[in-house]
Chain A
């Protein structure tokens, strides 16, 4: 079945450092790809999405590009802030089916220190 693999954390960075969180996927169809973020004590929030190959999703300074050739959707941010400390989840769903549940990676905890 479909699956998502994320780099293991925790990741600890200093403020203004560059962030990359790797995500690769396995899917039989043509998935849509998502990054969700979970801040401490809060629910999952959609951070960004991409629905087809070469699409770039972006939001709040974060970016991720849908790479079909490498089956990847790595999350990047040029300069992290303390407020970015959270757990980040990569996820996919079958775009053609429309009803399929999300398949999540295990999450990567990011801690940003001042």
Chain B
């Protein structure tokens, strides 16, 4: 079963450090989304890609956040100079090029900033 995978599953870092997360979508999916989920809340959209193009970024995505999807395959989300408020679950989802925008989610990366 080749679902969406994310790495690492857990990351603990100190405030001010940089972190990078990776997402591998389902292979035939050309759309890739990043969301952030905090305790007791639903996922909130951060950014998405169609193939290698980053088409939309949320206002939640401050300039400390950057995302890439080189060659339209895997994607990385980097957070620079982490802050305690960045502690959250970071979710990646992908969806196929046609049909209803049904998104398939990975297991998430839980970030804890000390």
Contact = CB atoms under 8 A, between A and B. Distances in A.
Interface in A9-54: 32, 34, 36, 42-46, 49, 51
A66 interface: no
A102 B107 contact: no
B59 to A, nearest CB: 11
Contacts, number: 63
A4 B106 CA distance: 22
A93 interface: yes
A61 interface: no
A107 B107 contact: no
A102 B50 CA distance: 15
Interface of B: 4, 31, 33, 35, 40-45, 48, 50, 55-56, 58, 91, 93, 100-108
25 contacts: A32-B100, A43-B105, A43-B107, A43-B108, A46-B104, A89-B42, A93-B100, A95-B100, A95-B101, A98-B101, A99-B31, A99-B48, A99-B50, A99-B55, A99-B101, A101-B33, A101-B58, A102-B93, A102-B103, A104-B42, A104-B43, A104-B44, A106-B40, A106-B42, A107-B42
Interface of A: 4, 32, 34, 36, 42-46, 49, 51, 89, 91, 93, 95, 98-107
